[in-house]
Amino acid sequence: MVHAEREESRVDPKLLELLVCPLTKTTLEYDAERQELVSRAARLAYPIRSGIPIMLPDEARPF
């Protein structure tokens, strides 16, 4: 079952290359452990749920 969860939470590397922060238009860092895309410029972490990045500022976690 753990293997299935890992498969589900993986994000396509090609997609990661294309995504930018919707607020600052800067590149994002992938945090695999927390399943987040981090925007250092906006100081926000966008969640990844079931392998899908949620790129809504209202859903992001400030840090």
All structural domains of the chain, each given as residue ranges with its CATH number in brackets, are 2-62 (2.20.25.10)
Inform me whether the pLDDT recorded for 61 exceeds 70. Answer: yes
| Prediction pTM value | 0.82
| Position 11 confidence tier, pLDDT thresholds 50, 70, 90 | confident
**Euclidean distance between CA atoms 6 and 60, whole angstroms:** 22
The two three-digit tokens of residue 7, written as one number: 């498969």
What is the per-residue DSSP string for 5-39? HHHHH---HHHHHH-B-TTT--B-EEETTTTEEEE
Dmax of the chain from CA atoms? Answer: 38
